[in-house]
Structure 1
Amino acid sequence: STTAYAVAFISVIMTTISIILFCVETLEKFSKSHCVADEAPNFLDPFFIIETICTAWFTFEAIVRFISCPNKIMFWFGFQNLIDVTAVVPYYVTLFNVVSTMSCSTAKSSASLAFLRVIRLVRVFKVTKHSTGLQVLILTIKASSEELGLFLVVLLVCMLVYSSAIYYAELGVPKSDFHSIPDAFWWAIITMTTVGYGDTFPVGPFGKVIGATCAISGVLTLAMPVPILTGHFNKFYAHKTGRCKYI
């Protein structure tokens, strides 16, 4: 219906604005404009007003979904419902803290409140309700969970093997960066994923051979889940777009 499309459009716009605001407010020229430590909060700041409007809309959505849900207990087990609730909780907790103290000091320095601000990013998942592509992606990951679990196990085993190998290969080599096997975990993952930051690297000849082997095996390991993910994605995408009658 027209109303449903209008609500969906507003929800996407509010989510987009909220995510952009979350990123922009961390810029240095904006980070001190709306909530400065040891000063009273500015409730007329544009950032606060926009965030309040977005949160009010998300709260309205959550309340309407709860009221219209026939089973109030099962409401709390729905993924989208949990996203709706989680998207608004950080705002109210932070607002209560700031209003009760009339200061931004705790909101800026508290690790728990900082974590709550990061939780606001779950709002991006609200878009999945209105995006076929994101729904297909989630279904693909769910259908491939067993294969992805196997892939992670293989990746973990390879990480342990190459971390141990590089440690003993570089043992006693001058200026070596590998002082223990746990220190080599980072190098193994970065090498296997072919990222190669270059902050840690083998120096000795045996270490370089192991490093090359690690990189090659990493490419082969990363290629394992690609056909499975592609197959599931094509299947769900065809079903979602109505180009396939049967899955």
Structure 2
Amino acid sequence: MKKQRIFNIIQIGNKEDIVSRAFDIFIAAVIILNVFVMVLQTFSNLSPYFPILDAVALVTIIIFCIEYVLRIWTADLLYPNLSKKKAILKFLVSFDGIVDLFTILPFFFLSGFIAFRILRVVRIFHLFRINGQYDSFAVIFSVLHEKKNQILSSIVIVLILMLASSIGIYYAEHNAQPNVFENAFSGIWWSVSTLLTVGYGDIFPITTAGRIMGICTAFLGVGVVAIPTGIISAGFVEHYSRVKMLTNFARDEHIDMLTVRVSDGHCWSGLRVDELGVPEHFLPAVVMRDGEALIPVNELQIKTGDTVVLAADSYFFHAY
């Protein structure tokens, strides 16, 4: 029971547990303090205060170490379907586990890689998660996950255009600027700054052909940047349209609905639909997985990342 309580406290996003919420706020404050100390240590005029800053950094690292050990100790509760050794191993190679390790080790062994402590900032974003489908961070990650193939395709297009423009500018400018555009890959920096509309301007074409290519590349860059933006925007529209559709359906049909987001380590993960312990008078209405609506047949296995929509006739709530 003590181990379970510690696990509940150190888990992120449980707003109902005051102690757990206080722990989240405390860890966030320690993270910010640790990064702030790292920034102050870059100012040479603060060298007289470096011993104090080192002491503060040591205290924060000790806190990180304690948290890291507790997360390893409770890994079997995070992954209840695995054995203790496999659960610990899965945590160690998980994103949070790797970030935690890389923010602790440099302080003791790799002083030259002290910048790895900045990775602790990443954990701040985890503190804002809410166990619900409509959390802003959950929506963002859900849209990115649903549109990952399209986003990946747009990135491939960017890389192809970047390589093509780099080769093209080489042939257009090499004779005029042999020291600037030495080979096909020397134009990569120019390609990036032009294609992504950064416009740094330290390398630029001087020939007519090169300038025409620069104009074409800049125009293509506007379109290329708009592609992933449009994909993500469309994803948000689809998501909220889906939510609105479900809400209108529930209102028109007089159905009360609950949504359960099955996160990593959730008790429903790995269970079949007929094994779910749903609230009284509620039944699984639909299972959302990777942007698709699945019929919740008894044999369907719930996976991490699924959203289970529970529905019940509002009559039950008026009767009870």
Whichever residue aligns with residue 148 of structure 2, its letter is: S
Superposed displacement of residue 68, structure 1: 5.6
Moved more, 82-91 or 136-145: 82-91
Normalization by structure 2: what TM-score? 0.58
Report the equivalent of 1:228: 231
Question: Residue 172 of structure 1: which of 175, 179, 190 is its match?
Answer: 175
Query: More strand by proportion, 1 or 2?
Result: 2
Whichever residue aligns with residue 201 of structure 1, its letter is: F
Q: CA RMSD in A?
A: 3.6
Report the equivalent of 1:123: 123
Report the equivalent of 2:246: 245
Question: Residue 196 of structure 2: which of 188, 193, 197 is its match?
Answer: 193
| Alpha-carbon distance between aligned partners in 2 of 1:20 and 1:238, rounded to the nearest angstrom | 41
3-state SS, counterpart of residue 224 of structure 1: helix
Q: How does 1:24-63 map to 2 (within 5 A)?
A: 24-27=37-40, 28-29=42-43, 45-57=55-67, 59-61=69-71, 63=73
Q: Verify the 8 A CA contact 1:62 1:84 in the aligned structure 2.
A: no
Normalization by structure 1: what TM-score? 0.72
Superposed displacement of residue 72, structure 1: 3.2
Q: Verify the 8 A CA contact 2:37 2:53 in the aligned structure 1.
A: no
Q: How does 1:29-178 map to 2 (within 5 A)?
A: 29=43, 45-57=55-67, 59-61=69-71, 63-67=73-77, 69-73=79-83, 75=87, 82-90=94-102, 92-94=104-106, 97=109, 107-109=110-112, 113-114=113-114, 116-117=116-117, 119-127=119-127, 129-130=129-130, 132-174=135-177, 177-178=180-181
3-state SS, counterpart of residue 245 of structure 1: helix
Question: Residue 11 of structure 1: which of 6, 12, 24 is its match?
Answer: 24
Query: More helix by proportion, 1 or 2?
Result: 1
Moved more, 4-13 or 190-199: 4-13
Superposed displacement of residue 52, structure 1: 2.4
Q: Tell me the matched-pair count.
A: 227
| Alpha-carbon distance between aligned partners in 2 of 1:81 and 1:93, rounded to the nearest angstrom | 15
Superposed displacement of residue 122, structure 1: 4.0
Unaligned runs of 5+ in 1: 36-41, 98-106
Superposed displacement of residue 213, structure 1: 0.9
| Alpha-carbon distance between aligned partners in 1 of 2:59 and 2:129, rounded to the nearest angstrom | 26
Q: Verify the 8 A CA contact 1:58 1:88 in the aligned structure 2.
A: yes
Could you say if the C-alpha distance between residues 119 and 170 of structure 1 is closer, same or farther in structure 2, counting changes exceeding 3 Å? same
